[in-house]
């Protein structure tokens, strides 16, 4: 999770790195960062990026993910008004509108996508929320 490796990652912004470092153990292995990077190039300025992952308990990987949900939704790294914050997830819900018109509540989680997206977009507000449903 981002809160576990972010001190090392941010240190790289302030010191010369002597050897390559690859952080690849994060959720979805950065897939969402690549999607955002592709679409971000279409905009001259981005103020807010809000992402969400939907966990479906009927998914065949469901039991594996279900055991991890509690560790996902604890304290989350978000960017708000240009500031980096660790926030209690349960105290910072967000309404997420689903494709068919309904909505659900999501909670922020710490993924490496958040600092990665900030690095290439300089967006002031970024969060990744997790939804079960």
Predicted TM-score (pTM) of the model is 0.74
Helix 113-121 and helix 31-40, axial crossing angle in degrees, nearest 10? 20
pLDDT digits (tens, 9 = 90+) for 25-48: 555 667 888 899 999 999 999 999
Q: Are strands 94-97 and 125-132 parallel, antiparallel or unpaired?
A: unpaired
What b-and-e string marks burial along 116-128, b requiring 16 or more CB atoms within 10 Å of the CB?
A: bbbeebebebbbb
Sign of the CA dihedral 34, 38, 43, 44? positive
Distance CA 34, CA 40 (A): 10
Distance CA 126, CA 17 (A): 26
pLDDT digits (tens, 9 = 90+) for 68-99: 666 667 889 999 999 999 999 999 999 999 88
């Amino acid at each position: 999770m981002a809160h576990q490796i972010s001190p090392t990652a941010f240190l790289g912004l302030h010191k010369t790195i002597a050897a390559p470092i690859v952080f690849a153990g994060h959720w979805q292995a950065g897939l969402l960062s690549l999607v955002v990077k592709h679409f971000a190039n279409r905009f001259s300025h981005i103020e807010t990026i809000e992402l969400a992952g939907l966990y479906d308990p009927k998914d065949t990987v469901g039991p594996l993910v279900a055991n991890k949900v509690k560790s996902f939704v604890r304290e989350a790294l978000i960017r708000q008004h240009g500031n980096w914050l660790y926030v209690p997830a349960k105290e910072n819900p967000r309404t997420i509108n689903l494709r068919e018109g309904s909505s659900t509540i999501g909670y922020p989680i710490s993924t490496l996508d958040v600092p990665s997206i900030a690095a290439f977009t300089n967006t002031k507000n970024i969060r990744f929320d997790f939804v079960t449903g």
